[in-house]
Structure 1
Amino acid sequence: MLQAETLQLLCLTATSGVPLFSRGSAKQLPFSIIGSLNGVHMFGAGHGAQLMSCETDRGSRVVWGVFQESLMLIAVSGGGGPAISELQLRRLLENVWNCMVLVLGQDELANIRNVERLKRELRSCFRLIDMLLERVSDEQGFMGDLTQCADCMLLSHSGLLQEALDSFAQAAESEFGCLLVHGRVALATEKWWSRLTSQEVVVLSVLVHSLSGASSCDYPVFLPQGSPTVAIRLLSFQLLPGVHVCVLCGPKPSLYKAENELIGRFWSTFVENLRSCLEQAKHSTLPPSVSLRWDIQALLLINRESRRAVTVCPRVRSGAPSEATPLLSSARRLELLRLFYTFAVTRYFISQEASVLSASTTSEDFSKGFTHVPVQCYLVTDECKCYGLQSSQHQLFVLMDLSVPTFALRTVATQALSAITAATGF
């Protein structure tokens, strides 16, 4: 049905099955197949069965999702390319829906009055949707589309920049402000973390990143959970190429005032600090004060309380012995990290992800076989060794070199967690 290394997203009206758009693969699916995918879902619904997903013997996957009983999204992945889990595809559907709500509002999507008009309006979402499709298997280390946690970078000296951000947001009559470096959240106000849901932070970060070509913009947005029917203003400004500051605010201030008065007042004295952030981003999402062992190939650290996440995928091995095996490519390590994250949260760790996937699968609940709550797990493959641990505050997923003894995996992982949290307070 699909060629290898393809991922395609389909959007149809839920009641009549009218195709609204198709994104992803350059070679679109024939209309007959699109109709069949919609028809089999409608047939099941008519007989009291909810079709959520299926998998072919060649490794292709299809995942269906109906939102507000109005729109149906279908994700289709071809076998033979990078492995894409069912959890990734389901998250993709949720993120695409949130992006459409962010841009158009829930009313416009839930109450379709004119199909042709909706088709035209949905074009304004294509850039965001394409970015989400790219992030399913990108090489930049963005994991928020899968974890639904904000992709962050941790700064070494953030006190002055945090004060500048808080003051700037207050002057813009807002409690919601954020500083992004190459699409990752470097700093944010307290309300940005406490009042916005993690899904909203993820799609807002993607939106600001998609607007990186503009020096400033005044964009009306609908918060998918917080304000799905009433638009609020997103003001975004490019402080340096790759560095953006944004606020969510009401009718004041005007874009002109914010750009010509507030930006210069609060950010002109911190140009060198911002350049330091860009320099750090070239090397790692962690500050230079954090030193990891050479045999850690990649890691994903999640703060479960604030729903923030940091992904580390070293480009070089500092301090590696001469006989060390060659480092896997960044793309392969990130693919393995995504797969191990999915493996751990759907089988061992009690989490939102596991509950979502278990609700959509007919397989036996693996975790019910335990008499306790697992907090650590490991996996040994032909390419690396994987270790995951979960505490009340953190989840950590680490890929390590095959040379690390299996009995030492826990020690290496806990040392890495301690090094990061002690230096950054993450």
Structure 2
Amino acid sequence: FVAHNAQLRCEIALHRNACGALCPAAGSVLGCLLVRDRIAVATERWWQLLAGEAVLLARFISTLTACTSRDIPVYLPRTSPNVPYRLLTFLLLPGVEVCLLCGSQPSLLHIENELVERFWRPAFDALQLGPALSHRGFVLHTPLHPGVLGLLLVNPSVQQSVCSVQPHGPEPARKSKLSLESRRAALRSFYLFVSETYFTSNLDAAKEPDSNAAHVRASTEVTECYTCTKHYRCYALTKGVHLLCVLFSTEVPTFSLRSASHAILKSVAHLL
């Protein structure tokens, strides 16, 4: 566990340093590393973009045809609705792209041929071999319950999340009839339902822990709930700053959902 986390910390530090060095050299403060359409690391200003804008950019890039580099004008609905940024992307490995939001200079060719090579070469081995490129996308010190098909961990206080629909890594799914896209849809639907129906005050309290929302949460809010369907089961719980949604196979008995979910939260809470 210690070795795995040390490796992950070193890998993240390498990627963050490369991203932080490339951006000012390219005249930008907005940059990130996308791994399988998810943000692995980003500059501080990228995290300060409105959540919807960051999601829109990642989704937009995921819809584009794969290529080695791009230079596309984009408008951000709130940050820059009238003057376009240049969205520059550079393919490092299949599924791994560096993204920048720049002004009119420097040229795409200059950044691609000189800056990307210079700043990302030291991190290239880590990109190829590191845990950030695993299908699961994170490192754990204990195995997950075998019936887990997916999980979503949200920390509203820092506006970040971790999501996986291959929580056991790239091995074949365990007799599940749910495709990866169906898992994503189920998790997304369940999260939207519980966050808007049951956990509203809980999430407000996590964003503003010193506010009255914390007292409302203690006295009136639901902290755990579950749902069962023909194809899967879901369990959600809030604790501290975290909201966890877990997607289980139907083989997991209903009475086990709570204990399994609490054990999972204990294992993944350190990620955010």
TM over 0.5: yes
Q: In the alignment, what sits opposite 1:296?
A: 148
Higher relative contact order, structure no. (Cα contacts within 8 Å, ≥ 6 residues apart): 2
Compute the displacement of 1:351 (Å).
Answer: 6.8
Change in CA separation of 1:299 and 1:315 when aligned onto 2, cut-off 3 Å: closer
Pair 1:163 & 2:11 matched = no
Q: In the alignment, what sits opposite 2:257?
A: 409
Cα distance in 1, alignment partners of residues 119 and 103 from structure 2? 20
Match of 1:350 among 194, 200, 220: 200
Q: In the alignment, what sits opposite 2:91?
A: 238
Show the 5 A alignment for 1:284-323: 284-287=136-139, 289=141, 291-314=143-166
Cα distance in 2, alignment partners of residues 327 and 390 from structure 1? 27
Residue identity in the other structure for 2:199:
F
Match of 2:235 among 383, 387, 401: 387
Q: In the alignment, what sits opposite 2:206?
A: none
Identity of aligned residues (%): 37
Show the 5 A alignment for 1:184-203: 184-193=38-47, 195-203=48-56
CA contact (8 A) 2:202 2:238 kept: no
Cα distance in 1, alignment partners of residues 24 and 67 from structure 2? 23
Cα distance in 2, alignment partners of residues 352 and 247 from structure 1? 34
Cα distance in 1, alignment partners of residues 226 and 105 from structure 2? 52
Cα distance in 2, alignment partners of residues 162 and 317 from structure 1? 24
CA contact (8 A) 1:290 1:420 kept: no
Cα distance in 1, alignment partners of residues 36 and 249 from structure 2? 29
Cα distance in 2, alignment partners of residues 336 and 254 from structure 1? 42
Compute the displacement of 1:403 (Å).
Answer: 5.1
CA contact (8 A) 1:233 1:248 kept: yes
Q: In the alignment, what sits opposite 2:209?
A: none
* CA RMSD of superposed structures (Å): 3.2
Show the 5 A alignment for 1:120-159: 156=8, 157-159=11-13
Residue identity in the other structure for 2:266:
S
Give ranges in structure 1 of 5+ residues lacking alignment: 1-154, 319-324, 354-370
Give ranges in structure 2 of 5+ residues lacking alignment: 1-6, 204-218
CA contact (8 A) 1:181 1:244 kept: yes
CA contact (8 A) 1:298 1:313 kept: yes
Q: In the alignment, what sits opposite 1:248?
A: 101
CA contact (8 A) 1:377 1:389 kept: yes
Cα distance in 2, alignment partners of residues 403 and 217 from structure 1? 45
Change in CA separation of 1:400 and 1:304 when aligned onto 2, cut-off 3 Å: same
Q: In the alignment, what sits opposite 1:142?
A: none
Residues 155-195 of structure 1: per-residue CA shift (max 9 Å, x gap): 933111111111111211222110011211111111111x2
For the residue of structure 2 that corresponds to 1:291, the secondary structure is coil
Pair 1:221 & 2:74 matched = yes
Cα distance in 1, alignment partners of residues 98 and 56 from structure 2? 15
Residue identity in the other structure for 2:91:
Q
Change in CA separation of 1:414 and 1:209 when aligned onto 2, cut-off 3 Å: same
